Chain A
């Protein structure tokens, strides 16, 4: 709960400072990609320690692929259906 609050606070503070054009110098150093790599490495050490994950990497990959496939299909189809619905109602095209 505390962590949730801290994450949201960090994000909102950053967003407001960004909108005010503060801290622009930060983007010159490509800090975000570096920190992301550091975090992925750290996350990797946790995964590498976990027998549960390491023993099931193949099935985890397959399950992840299925989630991605459904997410892509769902976002395409729901948007398509909705746009077709308003098109027939208003008789206008959007593309």
Chain B
């Protein structure tokens, strides 16, 4: 929760600074730093203790769970595009962060446009917040469906809450879903906006 506030603060300071001073960080510099970030995120995911064996135990459920989360997100983002001033590709692309707002926002503003990057950043911040608020209630209806709402954040920010609200087995599946979606976010966003 503190993290989200600090990240929003960094963005807001940047917006004020850019708006008032007219200074813009050169796009090539941002791309360079973005590559370093993506590299380090890769190292971080790979280094997670016993990540391969943790995933292997429930691999069938984890893959099914991840596919359902992706289909549900994209299907409803497509429906949302009829009510929004964005195309199907833009709306689905904005939703493709699955809650990972920092990476999706930055990637889309570099690959496509700062406008849609902003939309994506905010919509993924909202997704994480909605999931934090709703997950304990949704888990009473169905644990696995509730885990889907957490998207890529199921492996880190939401994991504690998920372990409180769901069974041990579903917590493991949730962790796996977070790993798979985190791996897919940079790939899916690249392919949508290439």
Residues of A within 8 A of B (CB): 1, 3-4, 6-8, 10-24, 26-27, 31-33, 35-50, 52-54, 60-61, 63-80, 82-83, 94-95
Contact = CB atoms under 8 A, between A and B. Distances in A.
Contacts of B3: 33
Name the 5 nearest CB pairs between A and B, nearest first: A44-B14, A18-B46, A14-B42, A74-B76, A48-B18
Contacts of B148: 75-76, 78-79
A61 B147 CA distance: 25
Interface residues of B, number: 102
Contacts of A44: 10-18
B73 interface: yes
B178 interface: no
Interface of B: 3, 6-7, 10-20, 22-25, 27, 29-31, 33-48, 51-52, 65, 68-69, 71-77, 79-80, 83-86, 91, 94-95, 98, 102, 105-107, 109-111, 114-115, 117-127, 130-131, 134, 138, 141-149, 151, 166-167, 170, 183, 186-187, 190, 194
Contact of B110 (A3, A26, A45): A3
Contact of A18 (B45, B109, B149): B45
A3 to B, nearest CB: 6
B90 to A, nearest CB: 10
Nearest to A46: B114
A48 B118 CA distance: 11
A41 B19 contact: no
A75 B27 CA distance: 34
B68 A79 contact: yes
Contacts, number: 291
A53 to B, nearest CB: 5
A10 to B, nearest CB: 4
Nearest to B32: A6
A47 B18 contact: yes
A79 B144 contact: yes
17 contacts: A10-B35, A10-B36, A15-B43, A17-B42, A19-B46, A21-B47, A40-B14, A42-B14, A42-B25, A42-B29, A52-B115, A53-B115, A67-B123, A68-B127, A72-B134, A75-B68, A78-B76
B71 to A, nearest CB: 6
Contacts of B167: 95
Contacts of B143: 95
A48 B16 contact: yes
A65 B17 contact: no
